[in-house]
Amino acid sequence: MAKVKGVIVVDTERCKGCEVCIPVCPVNVIAMSPKVNGKGYNYMEQIAEECTGCSNCAVVCPDGVITVYRSK
């Protein structure tokens, strides 16, 4: 089976840095950025390529800032 590849796009200006998405990632490819957005929150970002596009992070994000793409 071909490896499933995914990528997330984060609306960083809307992320409130609650970190709820961090523990739910099964492959640990998301982390909080040391940078802050316009509101002063550290935002989440993808840090490695192993994302499987499972959309767990997007499903729990209270602010709906994450968009998930996955290879078909």
Partner 1 sequence: MYTELIKPENLVYTKTKVMTDKELSYCPGCGHGTAHRIIMEVIEEMGIQGETIGVAPVGCSVLAYEFMNIDVQQAAHGRAPALATAIKRLWPEKYVFTYQGDGDLAAIGTAETIHACNRGENIVIVFINNGIYGMTGGQMAPTTLPNMKSSTSPYGRDETEMGHPLKMTELVANLPGVYYVTRQAVHKPSHVRKAKKAIRKAFENTAKKTGVSFVEIVSNCNSGWKMRPTDANQWMEDNMFPYYPLGDIKVDGLFVNK
* Binder among 18, 31, 33, 37 for partner 1 (CB under 8 A): 18
Contact status: 9 vs partner 1 (CB under 8 A): yes
Q: Considering all CA atoms of the chain, what is the largest pairwise distance in Å, rounded to the nearest integer?
A: 43
Contact 66, 7 (CB under 8 A): no
32 binds partner 1 (CB under 8 A): no
Per-position x/- string for 39-68, each x denoting binding to partner 1 as judged by CB under 8 A, each - no binding: --x----x--x-x-x-xx-xxxxxxxxxxx
Cβ 48 to partner 1 shortest distance, Å: 9
